[in-house]
Structure 1
């Protein structure tokens, strides 16, 4: 009986602390990182993937905790055809913000492009549960899944002809 009141007070404090930790707080990037991200998005829109990646990495160095930078790096990696690297960046973003719609959609799109359609459909179901079927991210991911995996391009080094030995 004498522990009832302290136990109730302790559980109330823990409940308040736990709910405060899960509260959604809008994250704002450092202004220098925002400028670098804007430059990177402009480079990415003009097709300069390497320059965009450099700008995004510089933004990551300025503000390493901003989720938008990881999503931008994932987009650049996808445009460069590096779906595995893109998945890594999207997962970094999801570690920081587990319900980020852009990261979930980007990871699913990279998985679909890589050929992991079932995993991409899992992300699609997760998106539908969070924001519904009318959400822009859900529709974008559904379109990428419907398109299917990107065809693999072989390099000249990957296909080496077998030497033919002829006698004279």
Structure 2
């Protein structure tokens, strides 16, 4: 008799774990706010974009694109350290997000961490199936930064009398 009472409860618990109630989909309002953030970025309004992406995250903190969008906006504002932080958040949720890997690599190069950016290139290439344009673009950013670093003259020493 106890087995018959436990069976329906066990079945409910098992089905709840197997089908999480469509938790794999983001809330529509979060998607709309992230789209507004992308539009603001395209219009050259990074602070407005950050506001929209943050609202998207407030409505659904699983929105990986919102983390990456905030990071891209901070890149446009010239704040690569903050961009790296938000790309890291996006990659923690989706380690195979090629766009976030590329963006994080750009931000790393802006901070002078070209060796760490090379790791991102390798990760992108490992994930690519056919098109590896993200890896090619990031390699170009790294090469350009390396060329600029070799051309920049050393600062002259301050003469003391």
TM-score (norm 1): 0.68
Report the CA distance between 1:135 and its aligned residue.
1.7
1:54 equivalent in structure 2: 51
**In the alignment, which of 120, 133, 139 is matched to residue 142 of structure 1?**
139
Q: Which 4+ residue blocks in structure 1 deviate beyond 4 angstroms? A: none
Give the RMSD, CA atoms, in angstroms: 2.2
TM-score (norm 2): 0.71
Structure 2: 5+ residue stretches without partners: 1-17, 19-23, 149-161
1:75 equivalent in structure 2: 72
Report the CA distance between 1:79 and its aligned residue.
0.7
Q: Which has the higher helix share?
A: 2
1:108 and 2:105 matched: yes
Aligned pairs, how many? 126
1:124 equivalent in structure 2: 121
Structure 1 residues 104-125: Cα deviation after superposition (integer angstroms, max 9, x where no partner): 1111111011111111011111
2:95 equivalent in structure 1: 98
- Distance in 2 of aligned mates of 1:40 and 1:113: 23
